[in-house]
């Protein structure tokens, strides 16, 4: 059992999912396959802090109660879940029996189609042949969009760790080091500063590689005059940060300095529009307008940002067509960028908390263009 206030928070998360449904089902079943096909909503509902929970399931009910069905490997981790009923099963037949006890024939069960593998769904239909399955993935996503105070605290700490790493990067740069070496040094510091892991594979891009937003680091070596794009995030109690900073080693091409100024201006323009109730397209269009007035029109090639939480891309996104409004309690990235093939790129990405009146920084690393001699 956890503290009553925290346990209540877990129940409120489950009830929130059901409230997002106009016709709530009798239960919701979150079923994991094997990594990487483990539904992060399982951890949203249970808040277990350790364990992978491959092949495990959580059954949620409208009153907020949750049952975890787990194999012995994860039994002790499951028992740390706050106010969850834990059932340990060792055989497939036991699992089917427990499911049928919890979900009788004739009931309606919600499933998270966006995360459920087809193979697992086939197994569920076989185990529960007289149950009607309905998709509740949108309700789950909307429930996860707005973070509770405990979630914000974890995201704030993840961003704090990431910000420390961002401040360290200039001191790590040395002539001849590879992109892979810098990524490794950055990830080491995440752990050193208290991260449980990285939110996603660290992006380090030297020179022209910076024009590729989702570049994978290589053995390419750092030379004077190169721009550097570093996109990375720390994991804290399963919650993610996502930060990008752009640097220069030695004297970069003058164009990169001007690009950085434009991207910083675009981020400021986007932030000026952000508050609860604003459609997600407005911050994106504000940033895009700045870039499209510059010599690099059309070089901003992705959405302005996305929600962060248990996943680094946690469901909500801000793009040209996003009608859905921002809500107080959302935690999102704001990351305009300009990418010029053959030259490189600049992206500045920060994590923020949306409030009724505006927003608050989660990440706090310097955003200026740091040139390291």
Question: pLDDT tens digits, residue range 217-270?
Answer: 999 999 999 999 999 999 999 999 999 999 999 999 999 999 999 999 999 999
> Which domains are delineated in the chain?
4-144 (3.40.350.10), 149-372 (3.90.230.10)
In degrees, rounded to 5, the angle at the alpha carbon of residue 155 between the alpha carbons of residues 150 and 158 is 130
DSSP 363: -
Under a CB-based contact definition with an 8 Å cutoff, are residues 365 and 245 in contact?
Answer: yes
Under a CB-based contact definition with an 8 Å cutoff, are residues 311 and 358 in contact?
Answer: no
Distance CA 28, CA 220 (A): 48
More confident residue, 4 or 51: 51
Which residue from 270, 271, 295, 264 is spatially nearest to 370, judged by alpha carbons?
264
Q: 5 pLDDT exceeds 80? A: no
pLDDT of residue 2: 38
Other C-beta atoms closer than 10 Å to the C-beta of 233 total: 30
Under a CB-based contact definition with an 8 Å cutoff, are residues 181 and 141 in contact?
Answer: no
Q: Is the dihedral of CA 18, 23, 24, 27 positive or negative?
A: negative
Mean pLDDT over the full length of the chain: 95
pLDDT of residue 71: 94
pLDDT of residue 4: 40
Dig out the tokens for 369 from the structure.
Answer: 């263009």
Distance CA 71, CA 183 (A): 36
Distance CA 31, CA 229 (A): 37
pLDDT digits (tens, 9 = 90+) for 132-189: 999 999 999 999 999 999 999 999 999 999 999 999 999 999 999 999 999 999 999 9
Q: 24 pLDDT exceeds 60? A: yes
pLDDT of residue 3: 41
pTM: 0.94
DSSP, collapsed to helix, strand or coil, labels residue 339 as: strand
Under a CB-based contact definition with an 8 Å cutoff, are residues 231 and 347 in contact?
Answer: yes
């Amino acid at each position: 059992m956890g503290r009553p206030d925290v346990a209540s928070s877990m129940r409120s998360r489950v009830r929130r999912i059901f409230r997002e449904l106009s016709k709530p089902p009798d239960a919701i079943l979150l079923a994991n396959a094997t990594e990487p096909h483990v539904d992060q909503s399982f951890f949203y509902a249970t808040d277990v802090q350790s364990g992978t929970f491959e092949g495990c399931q959580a059954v949620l009910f409208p009153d907020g109660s949750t049952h975890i069905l787990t194999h012995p490997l994860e039994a002790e981790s499951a028992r740390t879940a706050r106010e969850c009923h834990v059932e340990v099963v060792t055989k497939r037949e036991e699992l089917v029996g427990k499911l049928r006890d919890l979900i009788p024939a004739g009931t309606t069960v919600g499933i998270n189609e966006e995360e459920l593998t087809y193979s697992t769904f086939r197994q569920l239909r076989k185990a529960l042949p007289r149950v009607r399955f309905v998709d509740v993935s949108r309700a789950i996503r909307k429930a996860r969009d707005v973070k509770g105070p405990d979630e914000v605290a974890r995201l704030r700490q993840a961003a704090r760790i990431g910000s420390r790493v961002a401040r360290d990067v200039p001191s790590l740069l040395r002539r001849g080091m590879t992109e892979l070496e810098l990524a490794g040094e950055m990830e080491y510091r995440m752990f050193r500063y208290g991260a449980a892991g990285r939110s996603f594979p660290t992006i380090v891009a030297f020179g022209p590689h910076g024009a590729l937003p989702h570049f994978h680091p290589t053995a390419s070596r750092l030379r004077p005059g190169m721009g550097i794009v570093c996109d990375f995030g720390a994991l804290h109690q399963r919650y993610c940060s996502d930060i990008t900073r752009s640097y220069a080693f030695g004297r970069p091409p003058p164009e990169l300095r001007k690009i950085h100024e434009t991207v910083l201006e675009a981020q400021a323009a986007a932030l000026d529009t952000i508050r609860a109730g604003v459609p997600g397209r407005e911050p994106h269009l504000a940033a895009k307008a700045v870039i499209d007035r510059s010599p690099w029109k059309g070089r901003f090639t992705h959405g302005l940002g996305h929600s962060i939480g248990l996943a680094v891309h946690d469901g909500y996104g801000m793009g040209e067509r996003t009608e859905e409004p921002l809500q107080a309690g959302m935690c999102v990235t704001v990351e305009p960028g300009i990418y010029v093939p053959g030259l490189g790129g600049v992206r500045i990405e920060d994590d923020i908390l949306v409030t009724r009146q505006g927003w608050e920084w989660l990440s706090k690393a310097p955003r200026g263009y740091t040139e390291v001699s």
